[in-house]
Amino acid sequence: LWTRGSDLLWHQGKISPGSEAPFNLADRGLLLADGLFETVLVIQGQPVLLSEHLDRFGRGCSRLSIDFDRTMAERAILDLAAAKAGDAIVRATITRGTGARGLQPPLDAHPVLFATRADWTKALAFTSPRLSVSSIRRNATSPLSRLKSLSYMDNVLALIEAQGKGADDALMLSTTGSVACSSAANVFILEGRRLATPPPEEGVLDGIMRGFILAAAPSMGLDVSEEPFGTDRLMGADAIFLTNSVRLMMPVAAVDGIELPLGSATVARLAAAIAAVAGLEPSTRITASMP
């Protein structure tokens, strides 16, 4: 059996190398994408914003009526965080488990929880991607568009489409027509002292770093709001940046080939706050581009 993937697997309370395990191939996570996940950054052994990740994991499970064992999920993440030296990305995945054939979820589901670990390097964070607007839109009518569910292929296809156009990532609009997110990150625009990010209703995940920015910005003298905006307003902003838990903050260098202003002092201060909460030194990449 050919294997590749994570370097360490947490499964049923035990850690093993690789990611192979006995698995029920009738699991609804595999057959129907009936499950959720969290991707947690681990810096020097410390999971970043762990309780926020566990809170969101629980909220998602509640929405899908999947029994969530927070203690066990926390243990999986902490065990993998401590299993090896070096910064890491720990992904915890929960599925509803097996059920009878068909779409109907079983009433007596036994959820399956596992987690994997991969190395993380600073090169992943604080990059400045060039985006291309995707033809694939986030489905604002779908509850999944607001959950970190296993249904990720729209975003994968949007990423492939963007790369085919020479961009680094996709800028996804919502089916409402508003700006939604990139293939794996939330989007913010800065307009003077105003910071805005689309609300979950637009088909947007409530990202953990997004939540951190929403909470931290007012103390930095910024007005911050969750509100819909279109590409016109986006392109007129002083700065655009993306946030997620692995790549932290990414000032956007271009959209559809149109260069955007980088080097905002406000963006650099926000980046410093994110670096601090992650336990990292401030990004020299971002501070170097400051005016």
Q: Assess 258 for contact with a copy of itself (CB under 8 A).
A: no
Which listed range, 45-53, 103-111, 187-195, 262-270, lies at the site for a copy of itself (CB under 8 A)? 103-111
Q: CB-wise, 102 or 291, nearer to a copy of itself?
A: 102
* Number of residues engaging a copy of itself in binding (CB under 8 A): 67
Length of the chain: 291
* Least distance in angstroms from the C-beta of 166 to a copy of itself: 16
Amino acid at position 116, single letter: T
Q: How far apart are CA 91 and CA 119, in angstroms?
A: 11
Q: How far apart are CA 241 and CA 255, in angstroms?
A: 11
Record the tokens describing residue 231, joined without a space: 């590409």
Q: How far apart are CA 35 and CA 17, in angstroms?
A: 24
Q: Which of residues 174-193 bind a copy of itself (CB under 8 A)?
A: 175, 183-184
Which listed range, 67-75, 140-148, 188-196, 262-270, lies at the site for a copy of itself (CB under 8 A)? 140-148
Residues of 166-192 as b/e, b for ≥16 C-beta within 10 angstroms?
Answer: ebbbbbbbbebebbbbbbbbbbbbbee
**Site mask for a copy of itself (CB under 8 A), range 11-30, x = bound:** xx-----xxxxxxxxxx-xx
Q: Assess 252 for contact with a copy of itself (CB under 8 A).
A: no
The C-alpha R_g of the chain, in whole angstroms, comes to 19
Q: How far apart are CA 209 and CA 289, in angstroms?
A: 22
Q: Assess 132 for contact with a copy of itself (CB under 8 A).
A: no
Residues at the site binding a copy of itself, with contacts judged by CB under 8 A = 1-6, 9, 11-12, 18-27, 29-34, 37, 64, 89, 91, 93, 95, 97-106, 110, 114, 116, 118, 135-137, 139, 141-144, 149-157, 159-160, 175, 183-184
